[in-house]
Amino acid sequence: MFDNNSIEQLGYYVYALIHPQNNTPFYIGKGIGNRVFNHKKSALKSDDTSLKLDTIRSIVNNGLEVQHLILRHGLTEKEAFEVEAALIDFGNYLGHDLSNLVDGHHAADRGLMTSDEVIRRYNAEPLKVLEHPVMIININKKYSRGQSTDAIYEATKQAWVVGEKRRHTSKYALAEYTGIIIEVFEIQEWYSIFTENNKTKNRWGFNGVMAPDEVRNIYINKSIAHTKKQGAANPIKYTL
């Protein structure tokens, strides 16, 4: 535990909980006072379950101790929010599987992006006309910023409720993430998918390749934010 003098000097700080067996972080947080130590207390005194608390219990049950790493201190609360968010973004990008339940402060607006994503975000022109038979597929729930084109393809290709007519007429799939078209794929063939609790073929996926440049360049990095309706649930749309 920190003494009063240490607490006064620390101010707001950002910390990591480190697993002693592999020396990797499993949680990033911000706080003041003895916040960094409170997670162990919660894990041992409550029956609540979460990845963070279960990890702490596993460490203690193996006769080990969680390591507490102070990453930055002497911060304002606003600065601590920003540092925490940046480290959560980067930790997840590096594959540390952090146990944080939510992304950091302003992660959706100012979080981790590739250089291409920055250009898209601040230069995207509105897409006004669909010049080809396309389907626009929202991949917000299946894709995270900073990933490769292969990851975009995997997030876009399945598994969707698509009618027979649309499967026969749609030639291209526009992968849409947070209102911007981030890739364009040419659909080559469809395959049926059995969902886990249903033996009927009620969802579909496609095999495809990146669209040719003359098609791709029409749609890539264009914004459809102006067409999105509040509360719309269907991840696929066929018109603007």
Q: Where are the domains of the chain?
A: 4-110, 115-237
Domain 4-110: which CATH class? Answer: alpha beta
- Sorted by sequence, the CB contacts under 8 Å of residue 78 that are 6+ apart come out as none
Is 80 exceeded by the pLDDT of residue 35? yes
Nearest to 112 by CA among 94, 89, 139: 89
Mean pLDDT of 42-51: 90
The DSSP element (H or E) to which 39 belongs, if any, is: helix 35-45
How many angstroms separate the first and last alpha carbons of the chain? 58
Mean pLDDT of 103-122: 74
| Span 64-101, pLDDT tens digits | 999 999 999 999 999 999 999 999 989 988 888 898 87
Mean pLDDT of the chain: 90
Which pLDDT value is given to residue 119? 79
| Span 122-180, pLDDT tens digits | 888 999 999 999 999 999 888 877 778 999 999 999 999 999 999 999 999 999 998 99
Which pLDDT value is given to residue 167? 95
Q: Which residue has the higher pLDDT, 75 or 112?
A: 75
Per-residue pLDDT band at 9 (split at 50, 70, 90): very high
